[in-house]
Amino acid sequence: MSKFSQEELVHHECTQMAQILEGIAGTIHEGRPVEAEDLRQAAEYAEWVWQAGPKPNDGRGKEFEASHASFVRFSGDAAIGMAHEASLVERAAQRMALELRKEGTESLFHSNRKELPQAVDDGLARLARVFASRAIPFRVM
């Protein structure tokens, strides 16, 4: 039995994924390398977390999806050090993090949620250990 209510669990997962994405953005912003596999897993887990929570009806889902597509598209080039593509991944990570934080907050008021596979939970914990401490504050650009 979880120590969290269903709503609190969604909020926790969304916040944790947002911290990971902000950490990736911070790492890129500092000019430090990010492994391609870490970017691939972050994209995969972000999609899982997004799909597990309640979906917004105000069009914000499209913002997450567009940012996610950009993150996936440019991650390979960002991982090999291409500066322009890395900045696009950084921006996409920040936008996805913002949308996940909003969803996490809204989830406290809604209870329709899907379960995340254990592998995703484990992967989130691993990425959080690597990236959460590197997060930079999100600034609207």
- pLDDT tens by residue, 70-128: 999 999 999 999 999 999 999 999 999 999 988 888 777 766 556 667 777 778 788 88
| Assigned token pair, 82 | 């291409």
Q: Considering the domain boundaries, does residue 141 fall inside one?
A: no
**Closest C-alpha to 134, from 11, 9, 31:** 31
Q: Considering the domain boundaries, does residue 1 fall inside one?
A: no
Q: Please report which confidence band the pLDDT of residue 3 belongs to, taking 50, 70 and 90 as the band edges.
A: low
- Domains contained in the chain, number: 1
Phi, psi of 117 (to 5 degrees): -60, 150
Q: Considering the domain boundaries, does residue 139 fall inside one?
A: no
Q: Considering the domain boundaries, does residue 68 fall inside one?
A: yes
pTM of the model: 0.80
Of 12-26, 44-58, 60-74, 100-114, the poorest mean pLDDT is in 100-114
Q: Exposed, middle or buried: residue 8 (CB in 10 Å: 0-12, 13-18, 19+)?
A: middle
Q: Considering the domain boundaries, does residue 53 fall inside one?
A: yes
Q: Considering the domain boundaries, does residue 111 fall inside one?
A: yes
Determine the structural domain holding residue 60 and report its residue range: 6-134
Please state the rounded mean pLDDT for residues 11-22: 90
